[in-house]
A and B are shown apart, each in its own frame.
Chain A
Amino acid sequence: MQRDAVVVSMEGITKSFGGTTANDDISFCLEAGEIHGLLGENGAGKTTLMNILYGLHRPDSGCILVNQVERNITSPHEAIALGIGMVHQHFMQVPTLTVLDNVILGLRNAREPLLDREGARQRLGELSATYQLDVDPEAYIWQLSVGDRQRVEILKALYRDVSILILDEPTSVLTPQEAEELFAMIRVCVNRGMSVIFITHKLEEAMSITDRVTVLRDGRVVATRVTSETTKAELARLMVGREVLFRLSNDAARSPAGPVALEVERLRAISDRGVLAVRDVSFQVHGGEIVGIAGVDGNGQTELVQALTGLRPVESGRVVVDGVDLTNAAPQRILRQGVGHIPEDFDDALVGAFTLVENLALDLHYTPPFSRWGVLNREVMRQSAQQVIARYDVRTPHERVKARTLSGGNKQKVVIARETSRAIKLLIAAHPTRGLDIGAEEYIRGLLLELRNAGIAILLVSTKLDEILSLCDRILVIEKGRLMGEMARSEADIEKIGLLMAGTGA
Chain B
Amino acid sequence: MLDEILTVTFLTGFLAATLRIMTPILIAALGEMFAERAGVLNLGIEGIMIIGSFAGFAGAYFTGSLLLGFVTGALAGALLGLAMGVLSIRLKANQIVAGLGIWILCQGLASFLNRGIFGVVSVRPSVSILPAISLPLLNQVPLLGETLFNQNIVVYLTLLAVPVFTFIFRRTSWGLSIDAVGEEPHAADAAGISVSRVRYIAVTFGGLMAGLGGAYLSLALFGLYTDDLSTGLGWMAIVVVVFGKWRPWWIVGGALIFGAANALQYRLQALDFPLPYQFLLMIPFIVTLVIVVIFGRGQKGPSALAAPYERSEL
A binding-site residues for B, Cβ under 8 Å: 17-18, 22, 43, 47-48, 54, 56-57, 75-77, 80, 86, 88, 90-97, 101-102, 104-109, 112-115, 156
Contact = CB atoms under 8 A, between A and B. Distances in A.
A112 B176 CA distance: 12
B311 A92 contact: no
Contacts of A22: 313-314
B183 A92 contact: no
Interface residues on B, range: 20 to 34
B140 interface: no
7 contacts: A57-B311, A75-B192, A92-B191, A94-B179, A94-B188, A106-B180, A113-B172
B146 interface: no
A86 B190 contact: yes
A106 B177 contact: yes
In the A-B complex, the 6 residue pairs with the smallest Cβ-Cβ separation, listed nearest first, are A77-B192, A106-B191, A92-B190, A92-B187, A106-B192, A94-B184
Given A93-B184, A106-B188, A115-B171, A75 B311 contact: no
Interface string B206-239: 0000000000000000000000000000000000
A97 B191 contact: no
A375 B311 CA distance: 43
B180 to A, nearest CB: 5
Nearest to A77: B192
Contacts of A94: 179-180, 183-184, 187-188
A291 to B, nearest CB: 34
Interface string B172-202: 1110110110011011111111100000000
Given A94-B183, A115-B173, A115-B176, A80 B188 contact: no
Given A17-B313, A22-B314, A94-B187, A113 B192 contact: no
Nearest to A57: B311
B175 to A, nearest CB: 9
B314 A43 contact: yes
A104 B313 CA distance: 26
Contacts, number: 85
Nearest to B189: A76
Contacts of A96: 179, 183, 303
A301 B31 CA distance: 42
A92 B193 CA distance: 12
A91 B184 CA distance: 10
A97 B174 contact: no
Contacts of B179: 94, 96-97
B187 A114 contact: no
A13 B305 CA distance: 35
A91 B176 CA distance: 18
Contacts of A18: 313
Which residue of B184, B186, B190 has the most chain A CB atoms within 10 A of its CB atom?
B190
A101 B261 CA distance: 40
B83 to A, nearest CB: 26
Given A94-B183, A109-B173, 20 more contacts: A17-B314, A22-B313, A22-B314, A47-B314, A75-B189, A75-B194, A80-B192, A86-B190, A92-B184, A94-B180, A94-B184, A96-B183, A97-B183, A104-B173, A105-B188, A105-B193, A106-B193, A107-B173, A107-B192, A113-B173
A76 B173 contact: no
Interface string B150-179: 000000000000000000000111101101
A262 B313 CA distance: 41
A92 B176 contact: no
Given A96-B179, A105-B177, A56 B191 contact: no
Contacts of A102: 187
A95 B173 contact: no
A43 B173 CA distance: 37
Nearest to B172: A113
A47 B311 CA distance: 13
A56 B173 contact: no
A93 B187 contact: yes
Contacts of A156: 191
Interface string B281-314: 0000000000000000000000100000001011
A60 B174 CA distance: 33
Given A48-B314, A92-B190, A114 B180 contact: no
B304 to A, nearest CB: 10
Contacts of A80: 192
Given A17-B313, A105-B176, A114 B191 contact: no
Given A75-B192, A94-B187, A115-B172, A105 B180 contact: yes
Contacts of A104: 173, 176
